Chain A
Amino acid sequence: MRREAWACDMPMAESWNPQVCRTLCDTHVTDRDSVHILSPAPRLPLFSSRSEVTPPLRSRAQEGAGLVLVVTNCQEKIQHWMKVDNDYNALQERLSTLPDKLSYNIMVPFGPFAFMPGKLVHTNEVTVLLGDNWFAKCSAKQAVGLVEHRKEHVRKTIDDLKKVMKNFESRIEFTEDLQKMSDAAGDIVDIREEIKSDFEFKGKHRIAHKPHSKPKTSGIFEADFANDVKSKDLLADKELWARLEELERQEELLGELDSKPDPVVADGEDTTSSEEEKEDPKTDMNAMCQVTDSLDPSSCHTDITNAQLFNGQVNSQLNCSLNGSVSYQNNEDDDEEEENGDDGDNENDHDTLGAGDNSIPTIYFSHTVEPKRVRINTGKNTTLKFSEKKEEAKRKRKNSSGSGHSTQELPTIRTPADIYRVFVDIVNGEYVPRKSILKSRSRENSVCSDTSESSAAEFDDRRGVLRSLSCDEATWSDASESILEEEPQENHQKKLLPLSGTLEAFSGTVIEKEFFSSSLTPHQAIAHPVLPTIPERKEVLSHVPEETVKRVSRFKAARLQQKN
């Protein structure tokens, strides 16, 4: 039994000669070294700096706790380093006695839990881990020297830690002494400043800021007033009263400013103003609304009504376009709902309709709506909804194209979206009539231009694209249908102008149409949105030769002539 075991142990002994033992010992130690050499360095300076910053009287409890914490930390580290030192001592002892014998009978670890009897040979040959998986082969004596070197480092760190601990212990004693002094003699007082109150104050400020409403402002004002009064207490009564009067005046002024948003003041103006506003150019509407609160209540009401009527459909962005249609009802409802809209600060919250606050923002947007729609829409909810959808579609298109001039919409149609709007407004009463107009228009002119089959193919492609873009809008689909109808006609007239293939600015064509007649505009307008580029052109071109080239913009006319 034994013999076999030994035989089998021999190779193992080779592998597990003192070198391995040494490496094992070293790896453990070196790992600790790496960890612990790093850890004390960054931490200690932090603690020391903190201790320096904190004045002794500030909060003894905290500082004392901090100091104690530092001390305990140091103690733990010292303990650890002591253990490392202890390990090195054992290793050194073993190394020093290792070469005494030629071979040692050992139990060779076979993994963490298994052992195997073996023999340790080459007792005077050791590999030392230098770090980063680099090993140095050396004799046991040299290894002892290396261990001694490391032990020095360990001792040094332990000494440093002890010094730090001593230092902090002295500090702790100092703070304790201070506490004793304060307890014993009344001369030394502990001044404590509570931070909690500060935080509360800040919080209040923020809260007040948000509402931006009268009550808040009034509250602030009152606070100021109170402070002023206090400061003036020392002054003579006359001065104080004069001061008070001054403050009152100021308060009145501020109060007026604040009161503007109130519905009561604005009520008389609201009904009239809302209508007036509709007709007014929308350019500055937003700024106006925000500045002048008198307009707000009406707008608020309109928003509320809108939201109520169209709940899901109304989005913050959509409000602008929708406003016109809805505004009419708003005017009607204004009287009823005027009471509701007091605070307009929360403009963005359309979802929360309950209070006037939410509605206020929407109101502004609503005012931006064009006057035309308002007239047209008079009264019908269903029609209004329809118009809303259309407008939404227009907006989307505007956004996508980036060519939306909402402000100039009334007289001049610059963009396809504008045309579309105008058209909608005119036809607004009913959806169908608009379609008919398009059809009739195309038939009358027998326009349709068109240039070439290739262009027709392009149409189809574009139509597909447009549909994908437009998605939901019924208007889009209608337009596409109208286009389809027009296409055959266009094919007939292909000969007219090959030029149509070239891309031109959309605005130019539209302008021309307006000049011709108001009735014509809608048709073109519709056509344009659907087929922004090519179809318009074709029509334009056809018109140009038929009616009057002169009316066309000079640039265009010149271009056309050159091309011809």
Chain B
Amino acid sequence: MPGRGVHPEDSAVPVPAGGRTLHKEDLCNKIKEQKVVVDELSNLKKNRRVYRQQQNSNIFFLADRTEMLSESKNILDELKKEYQEIENSEKSSIKK
């Protein structure tokens, strides 16, 4: 069965962008997207093939479904952490 391509590209973006404090809104959007990716990947049938898009190009490399799922979950966690940090810093600044 031909697999359907999932684009975990989005997940790759925030990792290298680390160090830059992204705006809260951007973070929110990315978190939402990542959540969707995780849900999609987790709900896939076992025999589905997952492709990962090479950044900035149109080629999709075949990837392992479970790996991608775990990776996307990790990314989601990182995003959530970052978001929390931003919120905390904002709160602290407001208190001060």
Task: Identify the A interface with B (CB < 8 A).
Answer: 1, 5, 16, 20-21, 24-25, 28-29, 82, 86-87, 89-91, 94, 104-109, 112, 115, 117, 120
Task: Identify the B interface with A (CB < 8 A).
Answer: 1-2, 5, 12-13, 16-17, 20, 51, 54-62
Q: Would you call A21 and B13 a contact (CB within 8 A)?
A: no
Q: Would you call A107 and B55 a contact (CB within 8 A)?
A: no
Q: Would you call B59 and A109 a contact (CB within 8 A)?
A: yes
Q: Would you call B12 and A82 a contact (CB within 8 A)?
A: no
* A-chain residues with CB within 8 Å of residue B60 when the two chains form the complex: 106-107, 109, 115
Q: How far is the CA of A87 from the CA of B53 in the complex (A)?
A: 13
Q: How far is the CA of A404 from the CA of B51 in the complex (A)?
A: 92
Q: Would you call A89 and B59 a contact (CB within 8 A)?
A: no
A–B Cβ pairs within 8 angstroms, 14 of them: A5-B2, A16-B59, A25-B55, A86-B17, A91-B56, A94-B55, A105-B61, A107-B59, A107-B60, A107-B62, A109-B59, A115-B5, A117-B2, A120-B59
* A-chain residues with CB within 8 Å of residue B20 when the two chains form the complex: 82
Q: Would you call B59 and A90 a contact (CB within 8 A)?
A: no
* B-chain residues with CB within 8 Å of residue A16 when the two chains form the complex: 59
Q: Would you call B56 and A90 a contact (CB within 8 A)?
A: yes
Measured between C-beta atoms, what is the minimum distance from B76 to chain A in Å?
Answer: 19
* A-chain residues with CB within 8 Å of residue B54 when the two chains form the complex: 21, 25, 90, 94
Q: Contacts A28-B56, A28-B57 given: A90-B16 contact, CB under 8 Å? A: yes
Q: Would you call A106 and B61 a contact (CB within 8 A)?
A: yes
Taking a contact as CB atoms closer than 8 A, the residue among B5, B56, B61, B62 that contacts A29 in the complex is B56
* B-chain residues with CB within 8 Å of residue A90 when the two chains form the complex: 12, 16, 54-56
Measured between C-beta atoms, what is the minimum distance from B38 to chain A in Å?
Answer: 21
* A-chain residues with CB within 8 Å of residue B16 when the two chains form the complex: 86, 89-90
Q: Contacts A104-B61, A105-B62 given: A87-B56 contact, CB under 8 Å? A: yes
Measured between C-beta atoms, what is the minimum distance from A84 to chain B in Å?
Answer: 9
* A-chain residues with CB within 8 Å of residue B5 when the two chains form the complex: 107, 115
Q: Contacts A82-B20, A89-B16, A117-B2 given: A104-B62 contact, CB under 8 Å? A: yes
Closest 8 CB pairs of A and B: A107-B60, A90-B55, A105-B62, A109-B58, A24-B57, A87-B56, A21-B59, A25-B57
Q: How far is the CA of A120 from the CA of B62 in the complex (A)?
A: 10
Q: A25-B54, A91-B56, A104-B62 are in contact. List 10 more A-B contacts (CB 8 A).
A: A20-B59, A24-B58, A24-B59, A25-B57, A28-B57, A86-B13, A86-B17, A107-B59, A107-B62, A112-B58
Q: Would you call A91 and B55 a contact (CB within 8 A)?
A: yes
Q: How far is the CA of A24 from the CA of B17 in the complex (A)?
A: 22
* B-chain residues with CB within 8 Å of residue A94 when the two chains form the complex: 54-55
Measured between C-beta atoms, what is the minimum distance from A298 to chain B in Å?
Answer: 82
Q: How far is the CA of A28 from the CA of B58 in the complex (A)?
A: 11
Q: How far is the CA of A105 from the CA of B59 in the complex (A)?
A: 10
* A-chain residues with CB within 8 Å of residue B13 when the two chains form the complex: 86
* B-chain residues with CB within 8 Å of residue A20 when the two chains form the complex: 59
Closest-by-CB residue of B relative to A29 is: B56
Q: Would you call B57 and A107 a contact (CB within 8 A)?
A: no
Closest-by-CB residue of B relative to A119 is: B62
Measured between C-beta atoms, what is the minimum distance from A274 to chain B in Å?
Answer: 86
Q: How far is the CA of A28 from the CA of B17 in the complex (A)?
A: 19
Measured between C-beta atoms, what is the minimum distance from A83 to chain B in Å?
Answer: 9
* B-chain residues with CB within 8 Å of residue A115 when the two chains form the complex: 5, 60
Measured between C-beta atoms, what is the minimum distance from B32 to chain A in Å?
Answer: 21
Closest-by-CB residue of B relative to A89 is: B16
Q: How far is the CA of A86 from the CA of B58 in the complex (A)?
A: 16
Q: How far is the CA of A207 from the CA of B65 in the complex (A)?
A: 81
Q: How far is the CA of A226 from the CA of B2 in the complex (A)?
A: 95
Closest-by-CB residue of A relative to B53 is: A107
Q: How far is the CA of A327 from the CA of B49 in the complex (A)?
A: 103
Measured between C-beta atoms, what is the minimum distance from B11 to chain A in Å?
Answer: 12
